Amino acid sequence: MFVRVYDISKAEDIAEEIAERIDENHKLEDFTQAITMGSLIEQLEDVFKMLQAVLVGIASIALLVASMGIMNTMLMSVMERTHEIGVMKAVGATDAAVLLLFLLESCVVSLIGGVLGSAIGALGAKVISVGAGAYFGIEIPAVIKIRIIMGGIGVALLVGILSGLYPARKASKMSPVEAVRYE
């Protein structure tokens, strides 16, 4: 049964009154359930909050995996270029210069990943929007905000910097003699 209420501020009270009267009429407790649009919206908000928490958890795991991937890539880069690092340090490169070199490389890798990921995400949102709109017969717009894209790229850079710190520090602390001798 649908009931239209003219004074929206009384909707909850009217719903409770209807439920109580029908319960009394049937001589049963909790026989009737009266739902207002306000309570339905609150339930939907709870579902969306739960969905958001799950998505944040998945994104956190993805960031952790990406961080480990960048760190592994940078450690391999340090291992492969040990001889070159030794030569650079032997001709006068400072620890800070070597550290900066590897941190910049880590930033470039993560920046490319962030830009490509944002582009693929925006394209995916558009494709899903068009596909869902065609399937359901209604327009479902894909909302793509520049500040969200920039935030994603910023997070990618931060992850790249943090993931590159250990390999860059390891490269900068190498002994020039040991590094040049390494083959």
Q: What is the pLDDT of residues 133-174, one digit of tens each?
A: 888 888 888 889 999 999 999 999 999 999 999 999 999 998
pLDDT at 141: 87
pLDDT at 42: 86
pLDDT in tens, 86-101: 999 989 999 999 999 9
Residue with the larger pLDDT of the pair 4 and 101: 101
pLDDT at 72: 93
* DSSP codes joined into one string, 41-73: HHHHHHHHHHHHHHHHHHHHHHHHHHHHHHHHH
pLDDT in tens, 20-60: 888 888 888 878 878 887 788 888 899 999 999 999 999 89
| CA–CA distance, 44 with 35 (Å, rounded to integer) | 13
**Residues in CB range of 179: below 8 A, 6 or more apart:** 82, 83, 85, 86, 87, 89
Closest to 19 in 3D by CA, of 6, 28, 10: 28
Residue 2 pLDDT exceeds 80: no
Do the beta carbons of residue 175 and residue 125 sit within 8 Å? Answer: no
pTM: 0.69
pLDDT, the chain, mean: 89
Residue 183 pLDDT exceeds 70: no
